[in-house]
Structure 1
Amino acid sequence: VDLSKDRSRALVVRVVTNLDAELLLIDRAAGTTTTLTSRDDECWILGAAFDPDERSVWALTNHGREFVRLERLDLESMKRTPVVEADWDVEAFAVSPDGESLAWSVNRNGWSEVFIRTHGGGRPDIRLDVPMGTVDRMEWSPDSTVLAFGMSTATEPSRVFVADHAGTVEPIALPVAGPEPPVVEPELVHFPTFDGLDIPAFLFRPIGEGPFPVLVEIHGGPESQRRLQYSSAVPTDQLVQSLGVAVLSLNVRGSTGYGKTFSHLDDKGLRLDAVRDVAAAVDWLRTRDDVRADRIGVMGQSYGGFMTLASICFHPDLWAAAVDVVGIANFVTFMERTGSWRRAHRAEEYGSLEEDRALLERISPLNHVGAITTPLFVIHGRNDPRVPLHEAEQIVAALSERKQQVELRVFDNEGHGLSKRENRIAGYAEAALFLVNHLDPHVTSS
């Protein structure tokens, strides 16, 4: 994650499990590797860097606490000093080359708050006036006078902004390519689930009075979070809402960004509790006057694809349509065939073949395929090393044998998800058309 100025030392993050990592200092000249983080508690490392004087290291970690904070570690005494901590994750930081200024961002409820601190002046921290979006990188100018950072929102792709020590923020304008798309600002909502927990979500509500059909969208991971940023599934969410279908994008239990405890609430035997959160989303939607209660669909990618399949087999009466993108249908065959380099940390989340086979069988949608009555559209890449195509083929074959409505779209030149522009346009346009046809029969497919 960082190199010393003379390239003789490196900071390396070594992943231990799906939510645990170590920060290592590798000294090439001395031939040594030093572990800088303690092993007495699970911790995640969001980032690390040498201080400009290289006598200390800065690190983002949640060691010993719920949320990630920014710490400074003295390399001689090995003393850790908290620098920035909040009731949310500190997600990014940058130390100025002269060592006098610090910038950081906090992930608050799925969007970034950006701050600047200047040492020695006694001035309070400055919170920058930035759009409600997500920071993807930040860096100081060589003379330490200007901070540059990238940020995207739910309505606009990433742009570069610059800020000075006074907190003045200016975007670096780029020409707009083509007409502005019909996007909307999503609303942060919360709904109660079966055990009283509040689940956060973003509601993309189409322009107009409604009532609207709704797509419930579930992110992958599960160690991830739906953020306010123009990447991942958000452009697809915007496409769907522009066609008159509202989108509720969930951060169910197991998501990151809400503390260490929340991220573990779906581990192994608790897996189907997250699926119950999805069902609770439908219960909440049906209380709203602007929702067509009989026209609710579900969609997800990767782990979200599993959640989609699990939702339509464990709660089959809730759905009018479903879209599974590179999802897991059978955890046993998934664990057998996924890339060997990731099997151990996936076992930490889902369970191992050796010790948890019965659990893996019980939660696999393929083993409950007889309950599925929802029309299903499946997208998969032929070269997927994470969730092999076999997962899609199994669920499609089983449903086809039962004369259940199912469609499969395989992209020969894709892996885990759709990465190529032409494939993203084709695949998600087909998925959107499928959803519109099933969720709102009053909209014609022209």
Structure 2
Amino acid sequence: AAAAGTAAAGTAAPATAATATAAPAPVTVLLATDHGAQRRRVLRVTVADGRVEATELLGTPDSDVDEFVISEDLSTAAVLWNANGVSALELLTLGPEQQVLVRRAVELPGMVASAMTITDDGELLSLTVEGPNLPPTVEILRTSTGKIEPLDPERTRRIAERSQENYIPELVHYVARDGLELSGWLYHGVGKHGDGGTGGRGGPQPTYIHLHGGPELQSRPVNHDILTALVDSGVTVFTPNIRGSSGAGRSFLHADDRYGRFAAMDDVADTARFLADAGIGDPARMVLGGRSYGGFLSLLVAARYPGLFRGIVDACGMTSFDTYYRSTEPWLASAAYPKYGYPFHDAELLREVSPLARADHISDPVLFLHGEWDTNVLERESLQMRDALGARGVATRFLRVPGEGHKFVRPKSRRLIAAELLDFLVSLGVIAEPNLALLDERIADMKAGALGVED
């Protein structure tokens, strides 16, 4: 069970001479977990007299508990629900034994929230809110009124207005070849480069399919300035949640474990075919990419379905489990074994799902992006794949992002990546020219009044 946002509750009377040798006092814990269920929920677990009793405090059949916090005085709690990737916040007034007396829904100023903290007396709650074209902002909520009190009201208003301009995605559901329901977020390209400004609905569009990392993460409607720059340049962006993603239940989360990786590859191909069949994406101008696991899977799909995509983007993805397991952080390797395979028991499987071992099947041009100081996935993972493809005459490009690790966080780094990615799309004939002007405006807007933000 994955515990998150736990809080201890329950006390016992002080021991006396008569009770000093008595059994330990009962202990009660509230925790968020998917143990024994498809969805993460909040359980009230009591340990007494050597027995464990668990009762469900909060749970729904179609949403996960992302986060749960409770005040030190046990009077107030807050829960963030994840419903198809969109956050919903509830405030809870608690009674004896953490009985929920009142539940209040609170409207959030963005589609996704995280990082909740609550004061000891339960009066104030802080959380980070973001959304498409809405950079993460820290907001304060007064629990007595249930209203957000922005730290910088003017900046929050300005950024919130900007987030409503053409960037609200559409949640799309579709079916894989084996009948499993998949979903994803569709961002219609805007501007002269894609559809003449009709929002991506004037016929099949140049399309970029972006696979999330993890593999157990989830594509959600968050702020992603690089993908937004693609939308500004007329590219329709689709961020799918194929099998192995979180947010759709425990069985779905583990559906890509080990030998399920091949079905996950098929999900990506089914995603591309769905977009083409629906008249959304132009098959001749469709590019696949992702970061970390998403980049790794993109290479595998390119080998399993050569020629399906116009190009591939691999940002810091592993390319050989032989080298990755030996070079990554030990704890990362241990965590990866149940998902991908164990070095000795699954040696044959690991070779089959190593892109480097499948390099001779890849014919699509590939753009590699890698942080200079990445210790999760070393740069040589990209370089060895680039060299293997280059030796076969496959067109490749490589960008080392200075000063970055496994995540790209600096504004100037993200602009560099956006420019390189758009130039790659131009070289493939996917778009005619890039549009970075709006990204530059957003970076300047983000830095305005935000102390400590550096290039």
Q: What's the TM-score bracket when you normalise by the shorter of the two chains?
A: 0.7 to 0.9
Question: Which residue in 2 is equivalent to 1:389?
Answer: 379
Deviation (angstroms), 1:53:
6.1
Deviation (angstroms), 1:75:
5.1
Q: 1:275 aligned to 2:255? A: no
Match for residue 151 of structure 1 among 118, 121, 129: 129
For residues 360 and 95 of structure 1, the distance between their equivalents in structure 2, rounded to whole angstroms, comes to: 43
Q: 1:47 aligned to 2:9? A: no
Question: Which residue in 2 is equivalent to 1:110?
Answer: 85
Question: Which residue in 1 is equivalent to 2:117?
Answer: 139
Question: Which residue in 2 is equivalent to 1:348?
Answer: 338
* Aligned pairs (5 A) from 1:234-383: 234-383=224-373
The DSSP-based 3-state class of the residue aligned with 1:388 is coil
The DSSP-based 3-state class of the residue aligned with 1:107 is strand
Show CA shifts across 1:90-137 (max 9, x none). Answer: 111222343222211111100111112223598652111224522212
Match for residue 64 of structure 2 among 73, 89, 95: 89
Q: 1:227 aligned to 2:210? A: no
Question: Which residue in 2 is equivalent to 1:68?
Answer: 40
Deviation (angstroms), 1:163:
4.0
The DSSP-based 3-state class of the residue aligned with 2:428 is helix
Which amino acid letter does the alignment assign opposite residue 152 of structure 2?
A: A
For residues 350 and 122 of structure 1, the distance between their equivalents in structure 2, rounded to whole angstroms, comes to: 41
For residues 331 and 148 of structure 2, the distance between their equivalents in structure 1, rounded to whole angstroms, comes to: 43
Which amino acid letter does the alignment assign opposite residue 255 of structure 1?
A: S
* Aligned pairs (5 A) from 1:173-252: 173-176=152-155, 180=162, 184-207=167-190, 208-209=197-198, 210-211=202-203, 212-230=205-223, 234-252=224-242
Whether the 8 Å CA contact 1:59–1:71 is kept in 2: the answer is yes
Q: 204-213 or 52-61: which moved more?
A: 52-61
Quickly say closer, same or farther: Cα 1:285–1:126, change in 2 above 3 A: same
Superposition RMSD in Å:
2.5
Q: 1:57 aligned to 2:29? A: yes
Deviation (angstroms), 1:76:
4.5
The DSSP-based 3-state class of the residue aligned with 2:326 is helix
Q: 1:100 aligned to 2:93? A: no
Match for residue 402 of structure 1 among 392, 408, 427: 392
The DSSP-based 3-state class of the residue aligned with 1:344 is helix
Show CA shifts across 1:27-49 (max 9, x none). Answer: xxxxxxxxxxxxxxxx2223312
Quickly say closer, same or farther: Cα 1:52–1:172, change in 2 above 3 A: farther
Quickly say closer, same or farther: Cα 1:422–1:71, change in 2 above 3 A: same
Quickly say closer, same or farther: Cα 1:176–1:130, change in 2 above 3 A: closer
Which amino acid letter does the alignment assign opposite residue 57 of structure 2?
A: V
The DSSP-based 3-state class of the residue aligned with 2:375 is coil
Deviation (angstroms), 1:150:
2.4
Deviation (angstroms), 1:83:
1.0
Whether the 8 Å CA contact 2:226–2:415 is kept in 1: the answer is no
For residues 404 and 86 of structure 2, the distance between their equivalents in structure 1, rounded to whole angstroms, comes to: 30
Deviation (angstroms), 1:302:
0.7
Gaps of 5+ in 1: 1-42
TM-score (ref. length: structure 1) = 0.83
In the alignment of these two chains, the number of paired residues is: 401
Show CA shifts across 1:309-342 (max 9, x none). Answer: 1121111221112110001222222223222232
The DSSP-based 3-state class of the residue aligned with 2:348 is helix
Q: 249-258 or 79-88: which moved more?
A: 79-88
Question: Which residue in 1 is equivalent to 2:451?
Answer: none
Deviation (angstroms), 1:146:
3.8
The DSSP-based 3-state class of the residue aligned with 2:260 is helix
Which amino acid letter does the alignment assign opposite residue 233 of structure 2?
A: L
Deviation (angstroms), 1:238:
1.1
The DSSP-based 3-state class of the residue aligned with 1:316 is coil
Whether the 8 Å CA contact 2:232–2:435 is kept in 1: the answer is no
Quickly say closer, same or farther: Cα 1:444–1:163, change in 2 above 3 A: closer
Gaps of 5+ in 2: 13-26, 191-196, 437-455
Whether the 8 Å CA contact 2:213–2:294 is kept in 1: the answer is yes
The DSSP-based 3-state class of the residue aligned with 2:277 is coil
TM-score (ref. length: structure 2) = 0.81
Quickly say closer, same or farther: Cα 1:175–1:365, change in 2 above 3 A: same
Quickly say closer, same or farther: Cα 1:164–1:118, change in 2 above 3 A: same
The DSSP-based 3-state class of the residue aligned with 2:81 is strand
For residues 428 and 379 of structure 1, the distance between their equivalents in structure 2, rounded to whole angstroms, comes to: 11
Percent of aligned pairs sharing the same letter: 28
Which amino acid letter does the alignment assign opposite residue 218 of structure 2?
A: Q
Show CA shifts across 1:220-242 (max 9, x none). Answer: 11011112222xxx222211111
Question: Which residue in 1 is equivalent to 2:17?
Answer: none
For residues 221 and 57 of structure 2, the distance between their equivalents in structure 1, rounded to whole angstroms, comes to: 26
Deviation (angstroms), 1:162:
1.3
Q: 1:164 aligned to 2:143? A: yes
Which amino acid letter does the alignment assign opposite residue 227 of structure 1?
A: R
